[in-house]
């Protein structure tokens, strides 16, 4: 009966009740949205490269190898020999091995030398394969496939010619002008570092450095297409290797074998472990986001507290009449608590409904634009958040409920002078 009475009382004050519900709904939608983004952002970060069991490079720091091979940040301190890659690829435990050659750029964007196997085996997000938005993948010398952001930022289309620069600076005076590349394809957006990369064959990387020594072209060593056709363009060195295994159980055994390889100093890392270490460094931002959203919810509940206190003050005669017909102070206290709970429940439901409707409509656009692939799954921590908000809403109703409990019959019926 008290719940029905509380519901009718709120309907009688629907304007202030709706404002209260709207305030809580916005607060809850923001807090739940931050928790949803936080979880999906974490999963997306850990799935920047998925399906790859090991990343192998020259012996250095674990995070350093991850940064330059996956995120294309920084540069390798050393390369690894092609023979080491061949030996690794021939290991019985290895299902596939994709070589990467880094060190050149184009207007500040990294050029990645690799093979067609890269596009078959690379996965990101929730096991998403790479797709083309235009053209095709490179399949010969001086052909380049662009990442989506490169094409958009520089205005390139299929058929355009570009010049690759030696080194990683945004401005370079050492350019491979004698061997321009033709754009043959553009990748669909992924929201990963691949969007800011250009992909060419390993043979193309070797070809553009023919006649170069220590990063400088030798005088009179211009190489024409006929000379390139007769050359063996197999690279002598590469930067890193992405490895997929036939059985996940062999990963630690192969990692130990690579790290103790006597041919040259190599380092094999597990991408998931390295990403976890990197997240510990940059993941504090999610805690700040959650704290800000919690403050917004607190502001919404404070607004509800103000509405209820004002309502109790304005309803002194109504409460006095309820006392006159037999309602006890405990009944009045419970009535106001039910009102606070109903407002909180309404705000929580409205906020969650609005959030999931927004996810349903905008998640594909957000994924394409920012690389944040939002799912419709219920976040792990959201249940705790909902319970906490409901408890906080009930707690916010205790003060006006206590005020209602204190009102006596004489206080309600006697006008103040």
Q: Mean pLDDT, to the nearest integer, of 369-395?
A: 76
Report how far residue 371's alpha carbon sits from residue 45's, in angstroms, rounded to the nearest whole number. Answer: 10
Q: Is the pLDDT of residue 200 over 90?
A: yes
SS (H, E, C) 71-127: CCCCCCCCCEEHHHHHHHHCCCCEEEEEEEEEEEEECCEEEEEECCHHHHHCEECCC
| Lowest-pLDDT choice from 247-256, 278-287, 352-361 | 278-287
pLDDT of the residue at 390 = 80
Q: Identify the residue whose tokens are 């401005």.
A: 171
Report how far residue 169's alpha carbon sits from residue 103's, in angstroms, rounded to the nearest whole number. Answer: 10
292 versus 90: the higher-pLDDT residue is 90
Q: Mean pLDDT, to the nearest integer, of 16-20?
A: 77
For the chain, the domains span 2-45+285-413, 54-217+225-269
| Lowest-pLDDT choice from 271-280, 367-376, 378-387 | 367-376
| Lowest-pLDDT choice from 113-127, 261-275, 376-390 | 376-390
Report how far residue 375's alpha carbon sits from residue 380's, in angstroms, rounded to the nearest whole number. Answer: 13
pLDDT of the residue at 229 = 67
pLDDT of the residue at 172 = 54
Q: How confident is the model at residue 273 (pLDDT cuts 50, 70, 90)?
A: confident
Q: Mean pLDDT, to the nearest integer, of 307-328?
A: 62
pLDDT of the residue at 73 = 84
pLDDT of the residue at 412 = 53
Q: Is the pLDDT of residue 34 over 70?
A: yes
Report how far residue 361's alpha carbon sits from residue 374's, in angstroms, rounded to the nearest whole number. Answer: 11
> φ, ψ for residue 7 (rounded to 5)?
-65, -45
252 versus 6: the higher-pLDDT residue is 252
Q: How confident is the model at residue 353 (pLDDT cuts 50, 70, 90)?
A: very high
Q: Is the pLDDT of residue 13 over 90?
A: no
Q: Is the pLDDT of residue 322 over 80?
A: no
Q: Identify the residue whose tokens are 């100093």.
A: 265
How many other CB atoms sit within 10 Å of the CB of residue 214?
A: 5
> φ, ψ for residue 145 (rounded to 5)?
-110, 125
Report how far residue 145's alpha carbon sits from residue 184's, in angstroms, rounded to the nearest whole number. Answer: 6
Q: How confident is the model at residue 28 (pLDDT cuts 50, 70, 90)?
A: confident
pLDDT of the residue at 399 = 67
Contact in structure between 29 and 348 (CB atoms under 8 Å)? no
pLDDT of the residue at 72 = 86
Q: What is the mean pLDDT of the chain?
A: 80
Q: Is the pLDDT of residue 296 over 90?
A: no
Q: Mean pLDDT, to the nearest integer, of 294-321?
A: 66
| Lowest-pLDDT choice from 81-95, 115-129, 140-154 | 115-129
**Which tokens hold the place of 20?**
């209260």
Q: Mean pLDDT, to the nearest integer, of 51-58?
A: 92
- Summarised one tens digit per residue, pLDDT across range 209-262 is 776 555 555 555 566 666 666 677 889 899 999 999 999 889 999 999 999 998
pLDDT of the residue at 366 = 74
pLDDT of the residue at 325 = 63
Evaluate the CA torsion angle 200, 205, 207, 211 in order and state its sign: positive
Question: Strands 109-114 and 197-201: what pairing?
Answer: parallel
Report how far residue 157's alpha carbon sits from residue 145's, in angstroms, rounded to the nearest whole number. Answer: 10
- Summarised one tens digit per residue, pLDDT across range 148-197 is 989 988 999 999 999 988 766 555 556 777 789 999 999 998 878 899 99
Q: How confident is the model at residue 36 (pLDDT cuts 50, 70, 90)?
A: confident
Report how far residue 63's alpha carbon sits from residue 273's, in angstroms, rounded to the nearest whole number. Answer: 10
Q: Is the pLDDT of residue 417 over 80?
A: no
Q: Which residues contact 54 (CB under 8 A, 6 or more apart)?
A: 242, 243, 245, 251, 254, 255, 258, 268, 269, 270, 271
Long-range contacts of the stretch 351-355 (C-beta < 8 A, 24+): 351/24, 351/25, 351/26, 351/27, 351/28, 351/29, 351/32, 352/28, 352/29, 352/32, 352/386, 354/25, 354/29, 355/29, 355/32, 355/33, 355/36
7 versus 55: the higher-pLDDT residue is 55
Q: Mean pLDDT, to the nearest integer, of 89-95?
A: 94
Q: How confident is the model at residue 18 (pLDDT cuts 50, 70, 90)?
A: confident
């Amino acid at each position: 009966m008290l719940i029905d009475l509380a519901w009718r009382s709120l309907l009688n004050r629907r304007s202030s009740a709706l404002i209260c519900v709207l305030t809580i709904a916005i607060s809850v939608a923001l807090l739940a949205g931050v928790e949803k983004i936080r979880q999906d952002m974490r999963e997306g970060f850990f799935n920047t490269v998925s399906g790859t069991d090991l990343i192998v490079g020259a012996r250095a720091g674990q995070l350093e190898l991850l940064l330059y091979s996956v995120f294309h940040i920084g540069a390798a301190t050393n390369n690894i020999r092609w023979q080491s890659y061949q030996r690794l690829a021939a290991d019985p435990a290895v299902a596939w091995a994709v070589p990467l050659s880094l060190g050149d750029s184009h207007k500040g964007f990294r050029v990645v030398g690799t093979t067609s196997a890269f596009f078959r085996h690379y996965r990101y997000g929730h096991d998403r394969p790479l797709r083309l938005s235009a053209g095709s993948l490179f399949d010969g010398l001086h052909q380049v496939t662009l990442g989506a952001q490169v094409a958009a930022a520089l205005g390139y289309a299929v058929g355009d010619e570009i010049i690759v620069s030696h080194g990683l600076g945004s401005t370079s005076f050492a350019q491979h002008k004698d061997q321009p590349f033709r754009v043959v394809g553009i990748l669909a957006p992924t929201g990963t570092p691949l969007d800011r990369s250009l992909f060419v064959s390993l043979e193309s990387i070797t070809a553009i450095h023919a006649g170069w020594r220590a990063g400088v072209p030798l005088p009179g060593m211009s190489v024409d297409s006929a000379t390139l056709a007769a050359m063996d363009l197999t690279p002598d060195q590469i930067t890193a290797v992405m490895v997929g295994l036939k059985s996940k159980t062999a990963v630690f055994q192969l990692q130990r074998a690579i790290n103790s390889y006597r041919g040259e100093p190599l380092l094999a890392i597990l991408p998931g472990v390295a990403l976890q270490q990197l997240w510990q460094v940059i993941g504090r931002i999610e805690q700040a986001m959650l704290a800000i959203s919690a403050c917004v919810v607190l502001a919404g509940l404070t607004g509800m507290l103000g509405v209820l206190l004002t309502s109790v003050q304005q309803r002194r005669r109504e409460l006095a009449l309820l006392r006159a017909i037999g309602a006890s102070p405990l009944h009045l206290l419970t009535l106001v608590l039910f009102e606070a709970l109903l407002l909180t429940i309404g705000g929580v439901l409205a906020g969650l409904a609005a959030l999931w409707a927004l996810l349903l409509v905008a998640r594909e656009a957000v994924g394409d634009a920012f690389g944040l692939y939002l799912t419709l799954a219920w976040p792990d921590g959201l249940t705790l958040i909902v319970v906490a908000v409901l408890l906080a809403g009930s707690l916010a109703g205790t003060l006006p409920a206590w005020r209602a409990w204190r009102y006596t019959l004489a206080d309600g019926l006697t006008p103040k002078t």
